[in-house]
Structures are given as C-alpha cells and as structure tokens.
C-alpha cells in the first residue's frame, strides 16, 4: 500500500468548508434551524450507544423466550425493554438480530457502505468502514476472524450478514461459561461492541 505522496490537507479543508456552507445555507433557507444538527447529534451521542445492545443481549441470555423473539421479530423484542425512546427511529425499524449457537458463528459487515444498527450499537468503529476490512471479511471471514483472535474450528459454520438499508444486523454472542446465576447487569458487562459485530466473543468472567 505505497503512497507516493501525501495528499494535501486542503482536500480536508475543502470538505470542512463544504459542510459548513451546506449547513449555513440550509439554515438560511429555513430547511433546518441552527440547533437541528446539534439536537440530532446530542441524541445519538447520549442515547444511541452500545449500552442498549448490551442490555438486549443480557436479557436474551437470561430469558429464552425473549431470545427467540429477538431473532424472529427484533424490533418488537427491543420495544419490550426499558431503553431510550426512539429505538425505532434512525433506521431502528430495520434492526435484525442473529444469534451465535454451537457450531455457528455470525459476523456482520456492510460490503457497500457502512450500514450499522445505530440505536443498539451507536456509530460504527472506524475499521468497520474500511475498504480492506469490508472486502476481506466478505471474501475470507474465517481468516479475518482468526487474525482477530477468534479462531473457529473447521466444523463451525461462519455466517456473514451483509447489512443494508433493509436489514441492519447485530450478533447475540454466546453466553460465556461460568456465569450461572449472574444478574443481567453483571452479564451486560461481558458484552462488547466487537462481540455484537461478531469479530470477537463475549468477555470471559475471569477477564472482568
């Protein structure tokens, strides 16, 4: 990946100027107000975080009926929990969960852009949007998972879920052994964003 010359920062400055100009024009024309963008960003940054996903997974681990509903009708299942309002906004109506099970490991990518279940996982990490990651995870998910520290046995099936405008997937990781009798709050601590994308397993009890 050689880069013969570094690209001048004016490309970055041009993008920044373009965004400022667009927002200013939209405000001037009355399409939005001067607080619209801050309100939306504030909601994203305070309410749409992986804490929601952690609570959902923890409930699925202790409640088999909820777990079944979560994978068959994800928005209905999520609506049963006491999560911030607006879980069905911002594309939340397209959220769909898939569960790891013995012999099956799920991984979520978006091959064309960066679709992500914002309401339950927040904004995607930078690597999720990276062209190399997106291409390799689609082409050789098993190799990528091994490199990330999730070596899977040959008889474990890897299912790759390509998120899109119609389905924004997240993974319910396998509940770690040794957590019998744990509360949902304790269990939620074991659920990382990476495990809900499928590039990691849930944390082991000893690791917390």
Partner 1 sequence: MTGPGPGTDAGSGTLAYDETGRVRFHASSVADRNQPVFDAEWQRRAFGLAVALSEFGHYPWEDFQRELIASIGSWQDAPDDARGRWEYYQHWVTALAAVIARHRLLDDGYVNPEDRRRPIRPGSR
Which residues does the annotation mark as catalytic?
A: 110, 113-115
Give whichever of 79 and 132 is closer to partner 1, judged by the CB atom: 132
Least distance in Å: CB of 65 to partner 1? 28
Q: Quick one: which of 69, 123, 138, 158 contacts partner 1 (CB under 8 A)?
A: 123
Q: Does 153 bind partner 1 (CB under 8 A)?
A: no
Residues in a beta bridge with 124: none
Total residues contacting partner 1 by CB under 8 A comes to 57
3 binds partner 1 (CB under 8 A): yes
What's the Cα-to-Cα distance from 200 to each of 18, 44, 71, 172, rounded to whole Å? 38, 24, 20, 11
130 is a site residue for partner 1 (CB under 8 A): yes
Residue 71's nearest CA partner among 103, 107, 95 is 95
- CA–CA gap between residue 148 and residue 208 (Å, rounded): 20
Q: Compare residues 40 and 79 and give the one whose CB is closer to partner 1.
A: 40
In terms of CB distance, is 79 or 112 closer to partner 1? 112
Considering only 10, 30, 85, 155, the residue that binds partner 1 (CB under 8 A) is 30
User: Is 85 an interacting residue with respect to partner 1 (CB under 8 A)?
Assistant: no
Q: Is 23 in the site for partner 1 (CB under 8 A)?
A: yes
Q: Is 136 among the residues that bind partner 1 (CB under 8 A)?
A: yes
CB of 109 to partner 1, least distance (A): 12
């Amino acid at each position: 990946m050689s880069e013969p010359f570094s690209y001048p920062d004016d490309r970055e400055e041009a993008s920044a100027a373009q965004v400022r100009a667009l927002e200013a024009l939209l405000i001037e024309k009355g399409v939005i107000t001067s607080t619209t963008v801050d309100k939306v960003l504030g909601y994203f940054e305070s309410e749409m975080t992986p804490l929601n996903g952690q609570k959902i997974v923890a409930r699925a681990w202790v409640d088999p009926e909820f777990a079944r509903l979560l994978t068959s009708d994800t928005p209905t299942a999520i609506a049963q929990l006491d999560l911030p309002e607006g879980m069905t906004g911002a594309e939340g109506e397209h959220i769909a969960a898939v569960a790891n099970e013995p012999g099956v490991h799920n991984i979520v990518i978006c091959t064309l852009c960066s679709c992500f279940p914002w309401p339950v996982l927040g904004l995607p990490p930078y690597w999720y949007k990276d062209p190399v990651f997106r291409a390799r995870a689609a082409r050789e998910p098993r190799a990528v998972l091994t490199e990330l520290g999730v070596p899977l046995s040959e008889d474990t099936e890897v299912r790759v879920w390509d998120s899109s405008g119609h389905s924004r997937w997240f993974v319910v990781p396998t509940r770690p052994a040794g957590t019998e009798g744990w509360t949902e709050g304790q269990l939620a601590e074991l659920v990382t964003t990476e495990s809900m994308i499928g590039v990691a397993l849930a944390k082991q009890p000893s690791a917390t």
